[in-house]
Amino acid sequence: MNYVEWLRVRNCLRIVAIILGIGVLLAVILRISLTRYMSPESWIQHFHEPGTVVTHVTLPDGTKRTIWDNAHDQTHVVIDDLGYAGKHIVVTEPASRAHNDHDNVAVGSIHVNESQNGAVRTTVIDTNGSVPMLYYMAFADVVALIVAMVLAAPFAREVDGHLEIALTKPVSRTRSAIGAIGADVVGIVAASVMTCVALYLCQLLFESARVDVSGVNARAIVMGLIAPLAWYALLCAATTWFNRSYVAVLVAALPVAIIVGALTLVEPSNIVAAIVHQVAWILSRLDPWTYVQLKYDSTTMEVGAATFGWRLSLEILFFIIYGALAVFKWQRVEA
């Protein structure tokens, strides 16, 4: 009985798939154009200067080790080829030749750590570090947010122009409404999964992808799936109650949420600022995205762990309450 809503979901996901496919294609083109720069050896090729002695050794565990040694420049490079586990590179050079001010850098699975001991500086490069799933979910949530806004007016669209036909469905309004919401939920979750798969494919083009799903990343996955659904339910309720101007509601929702969030940062330095801050703070409590935070807890050395349980519970509660408000209003719409 929700065939039309499933068609909307299908068409929306088709567009998402096309856009993600274009993104992957652009990543392929970029990978081809950067082929000669993708080898770890090319990153340290500037150390291979005249006078460098190259030695190849196979360790007892089968690791292929390459050693570059330049006595004149006092530079020593050890490259361990660990196969699928990537490469472990250790560069030892005089501190006077150091050309990087960053002690720790992580880009994707590439981790660089630098340390100095007296006049000697050591740089360690690992090419098989894990990529936090948090990064994946950040992109996935952006896509899910857009998809949620596109799908978040199923009942308002029923009212707009063909309400009489919608009311003739041989099924209760409650069951029809829950089915429509269920179809949209499937579409939003599917958009998130598709985005993560596309990002993973892009990463595979440049490196051996290892995804970290432990700790904060596991929480990011759960919150990243629930928060867009709570946002969808909020928009669904708003567009159902204000069905004659549902397009305006959808267009204004995100800017209003951003403005309200910004106003909560206003310092209550005077009476007007205090009122603005308090009103914005109260309104922000109704926004599901307010509770998507990753606050560092210095006592537990975790990120967002202390408050994750109640924040997740609030997101689920928002989804239920806002969804129920939408269904309640839909049940009382008359032709």
Per-residue DSSP letters for 185-215? HHHHHHHHHHHHHHHHHHHHHHS---EE-ST
Mean pLDDT of the region 86-92: 81
pLDDT of 127 reads 76
- Among 47-61, 247-261, 295-309, name the one with the lowest average pLDDT: 295-309
Banded pLDDT at 283 (limits 50, 70, 90):
very high
Look at residue 25 and tell me whether its pLDDT is greater than 80.
yes
CA dihedral 127→294→239→320, nearest 10 degrees, is 110
Question: Positive or negative, the Cα torsion across 99, 105, 110, 113?
Answer: positive
- What is the tens place of the pLDDT at every residue in 206-252? 776 778 888 888 888 999 999 999 999 999 999 999 988 889 999 99
pLDDT of 301 reads 43
- What is the tens place of the pLDDT at every residue in 306-326? 788 899 999 999 999 999 999
Can you give the pTM of this predicted structure? 0.79
Q: Which one-letter amino acid corresponds to residue 163?
A: L
Look at residue 128 and tell me whether its pLDDT is greater than 60.
yes
The domains found in the chain, sorted by start residue, are 3-27+132-331 (no CATH), 39-126 (3.30.200)
Q: Which one-letter amino acid corresponds to residue 46?
A: H
Mean pLDDT of the region 90-101: 71
Look at residue 38 and tell me whether its pLDDT is greater than 70.
no
State how far the Cα of 95 lies from the Cα of 117, in Å rounded to an integer: 9
Look at residue 297 and tell me whether its pLDDT is greater than 60.
no
